[in-house]
Structure 1
């Protein structure tokens, strides 16, 4: 999935995962897209600071 596809899916209320269902993409209360680990609540940004480069490979993102 591309950055745009991921953001659109999250905005539509779909569950987007990265690599495993334990890592979910969310949009927080201030509009940031984050990857959250459900096992320990750690999170990272969906992208690097450039807003374009994903923290992960496109093919590793999927919806459930």
Structure 2
């Protein structure tokens, strides 16, 4: 999935995962897209600080 695909899916209410179902992409109340590891709540940004490069490979993101 491209960055645009991921954001569109999250905005449409779909559940997007990264690498496995333990990681979920969501949008916080500030409008930031984050990847959260559900078992412990740890999270990182979906992209680098400039918002250009995904923190993960496009092929690793999926809807489930």
TM-score, length basis structure 1:
0.98
Q: Alignment length, in residue pairs?
A: 64
Aligned match of 2:16: 16
Q: Residue 9 of structure 1 aligns to a residue in which SS?
A: helix
Aligned match of 2:43: 43
Cα distance in 2, alignment partners of residues 25 and 13 from structure 1:
11
Q: Residue 54 of structure 2 aligns to a residue in which SS?
A: coil
Query: Unaligned stretches of 5+ in structure 2?
Result: none
Deviations 1:8-48 (A, max 9, x none): 00000000000000000000001000000001000000000
